[in-house]
Amino acid sequence: MTTLLSVEHLSKVFTLGGGLFKPGRELVALNDISLTVEAGETLAIVGESGCGKTTLGRCIIKAQPVSEGKVFYHPKDGQKVELTELDKRAIKPWRRDIRMIFQDPMSSLNPNMRVFDLVAEPLRVHRICKGRELEDRVISTLGKVGIPADAIGRYPHAFSGGQRQRIGIARALVLDPKLVIADEAVSALDVSIQAQVLNLLDDLKREFGLTYIFISHDLGVVNYIADRVMVMYLGHVVETAPTEQLFERPRHPYSEMLLEALPIADPTRRKGQNKELRGEIPYLGNRPIGCPFHTRCRYAQDKCRAEKPALRPINGTAQMAACHFAETLELKGAYEAPQKVFA
Amino acid sequence: MNQPLLSIKDMSITFSSPDEADIEAVRQVDLVLTPGKTLALVGESGCGKSVTARAVLRLLDKNARIPKGEILYDAEGGRVDIARLHPDSTAMRAIRGNQISMIFQEPMSSLSPVHTIGDQIDEIIILHQRLSPKKARERTISLLDQVGIPGARDRSNAYPFELSGGLRQRAMIAMALACTPKLLIADEPTTALDVTTQAQILDLLRQLQADFGMAMLFITHDLGVVAEIADDIAVMYLGDVVEQGDVFEVFRAPKHPYTQALMNSVPRLQRKAERTRLTPIKGTVPSPKDRPVGCAFTSRCPHAFAPCPGQRPERTPVSPGHVARCHLLTHVREEALA
């Protein structure tokens, strides 16, 4: 496998308030994030709202400037482009390779543009083709995501949520990208439509050899689509592991808590009151000292309140966790007996 | 079995508009709510689940009517048919917010942004129970405490924007519980929340139900949440309740193709080796205007056959308390095709 994207020690600090002579308050949204994405894999980034997963996605495509750290893109073997040092003009060609799908299909499409123009826009902006060729390319891309050619003259309001999300996907795919960052791409959809879009993303990945960064808060969906998962909490990476390993035996108490909170569509596996869920995600501005999770952790010790644990490989495997007791804690996974399919 | 608290019988809801034909958004729905039990109403957007719930409180839009059916409620002074009450009548107002109350999906848009949460809860208590403002505030604080808001006394002076999503939803629940209702309607109360917060709110609702013995009508599109909280389930599709029954029974052996399809489109928590590709329902939900005369699911049903488009399936009992509306239960397929 070859690395497609690598992020090294990325931090993002927002400054709040302040004025001409008064310094603002600093809000650390991302704290020293490092990750690599291999070509052809699906990396999921999960966490509760406010953990920084969307900000991370936006920093990667430089929709937001980073405060510290570097993002490298590896277009082919041996070549390495530092996206973070490029200016607006220099980064443009690389934006063809890295595309984004947004969460809300209602607000991410310009209501004044027809479907054809919405999908043609990236081609025109990047001056890739025009005329007949452009037309063909738009129509064939729309066909791949399941929008019929006779619908190209309509405006977004004439489509359902699922169809709009397909148009959003077509906008991302029309440039033949290598890496697609899907930010909560299926969260706003109904279950039956969500299943359609998940299958579509899966098919497109195979057909075009795509790589996904899949940002989501739904662990059920993540288990279905991802090869690897990165769990974030308060701007920190607390665990990263191959999907199966994480769901089998999480190594960070926060991952365990997320898995425990996940409702399962089977009343015989009802979890009832015996869950151990504590507290809420603290405000970023007053991040706890020590381990960021210790205020909600049921296993927290004095060490956790004083010293911040580093992200490290567990027992020499591909699983990494930032917990002082990752090796010794017996944390609960989420897999159980297979469930049946109704025909 | 307990006496039902509220029974909806054969209720339809139609919406009229000046330049189009009337749309029947909900047709012939039967639901029963029992004290201490939770009925989950499940379906995709636009299936009529929220409209059904709002009809119980008579909170429908001006162009909506309930032309058929009854909503029988055992009120304190005897049985009333809510469907025949005027939405603005004194009788309806005495029920709404007092005996039947509702939790809405988006706490941010259903709470007043310019009043403190304490003031908003006080208002209901003063209105329905005629307590003095001082006593009302004491009650408000104890309610906020009960729903697990830390520092309830201080937080009662907070505005909604000062609270997190989870706390806001808790405040919303406190408000719904202000007059110890007999029936609590929860319309997607956890959809906008994180999983961990969602699990906490579900626990809270369960706890409160055990304490107060209220009946609960829980509206959601998430089958995981249904499996977690419901005693009974009713599955809606395009205004029809296609299947209803005991939650264990329906999840064990769903009979309607829509219920089956819905369950098959949820990603299961399985290891990669056991995982199968999701089987989504083909197509999209048609508009209620284009609903087939017969079974509403005909256009997307993998098993549709001769009688489906033209003839509406009857409510067919499958086992005690489990009914479905599907021709497959009453017809032998080959015979019908011939």
What CA–CA distance (Å, rounded) separates B170 from B164? Answer: 10
| Mean of all residue pLDDT scores within chain A | 89
Q: What is the value of ipTM here, to two decimals?
A: 0.85
What CA–CA distance (Å, rounded) separates B304 from B297? Answer: 8
Do A277 and B274 lie within an 8 Å CB cutoff?
no
What CA–CA distance (Å, rounded) separates A175 from A235? Answer: 31
- Give percent of chain B with pLDDT exceeding 90: 60
Residues of B in contact with A161 (CB under 8 A): 45
The stretch A265-285 carries a mean pLDDT of: 75
* Residue matched to tokens 């400037």: A65
pLDDT at A337: 56
Residue of B nearest to A283 (CA): B164
- pLDDT band per the 50, 70, 90 thresholds, residue A122: very high
Q: Would you say residue B338 has pLDDT above 50?
A: no
Residues of B in contact with A160 (CB under 8 A): 284-285
Residue of A nearest to B166 (CA): A280
Which of B75-84, B119-128, B202-211, B284-293 is the least confident region?
A: B284-293
- Degrees, nearest 5: CA angle B191-B194-B199: 85
pLDDT at A322: 95
Residues of A in contact with B168 (CB under 8 A): none
Taking each helix axis as running N to C, give the angle between helix A161-173 and helix A131-144, from 0 to 180 degrees, rounded to the nearest 10.
130
Sign of CA dihedral A313, A319, A324, A330: negative
Do B278 and A260 lie within an 8 Å CB cutoff?
no
Residue type present at position B111: L
pLDDT at B336: 47
pLDDT at B117: 94
Q: State pLDDT tens for residues B142-194.
A: 999 888 888 889 999 999 988 888 889 889 999 999 999 999 999 998 887 88
Distance from the Cα of B78 to chain A's closest Cα (Å) equals 35
| Per-state percent for chain A, helix, strand, coil, to nearest 5 | 35, 20, 45
Of B207, B169, B171, nearest to B189 by C-alpha is B169
Q: Which fold has domain B6-230?
A: Rossmann fold (3.40.50)
Q: State pLDDT tens for residues A5-25.
A: 999 999 999 887 777 777 778
Q: 3-state SS of B38-83?
A: EEEEECCCCCCHHHHHHHHHCCCCCCEEEEEEEEEEEECCEEEEHH
Exposed, middle or buried by CB within 10 Å (0-12, 13-18, 19+), for B286? Answer: middle
Do A220 and B264 lie within an 8 Å CB cutoff?
no
User: CB distance from B251 to chain A under 8 Å?
Assistant: yes
Q: State pLDDT tens for residues A32-68.
A: 999 999 999 999 999 988 888 889 999 998 888 899 9
User: CB distance from B164 to chain A under 8 Å?
Assistant: yes
Indicate the pTM of the whole model. 0.88
pLDDT at A343: 57
Q: Would you say residue A150 has pLDDT above 80?
A: yes
Range(s) within chain B of domains with CATH label 3.40.50.300: 6-230
Mutate to test the interface with A, among B268, B275, B276, B318 (most CBs of A within 10 A): B268
In chain A the domains, ranked by start, together with CATH numbers, are: 3-232 (3.40.50.300), 244-321 (no CATH)
The stretch A296-319 carries a mean pLDDT of: 92
Of B206, B222, B278, the CB nearest to A198: B278
The stretch A228-256 carries a mean pLDDT of: 95
Transcribe A43-106 into DSSP letters. Answer: EEEE--TTSSHHHHHHHHTTSS--SEEEEEE-SSTT--EEGGG--HHHHHHHHTTEEEE-S-TT
User: CB distance from B225 to chain A under 8 Å?
Assistant: yes
Residues of B in contact with A264 (CB under 8 A): 224, 227-228, 269
User: CB distance from B247 to chain A under 8 Å?
Assistant: yes
* Token code pair at residue B258: 């829509």
Of B196, B221, B254, the CB nearest to A342: B254
Q: State pLDDT tens for residues B209-241.
A: 999 999 999 999 999 999 999 999 999 999 999
Q: A198-202, B105-109, B160-164, B286-290 — which one is most confidently predicted on average? A: A198-202
pLDDT at A339: 54
pLDDT at B134: 94
User: CB distance from B40 to chain A under 8 Å?
Assistant: no
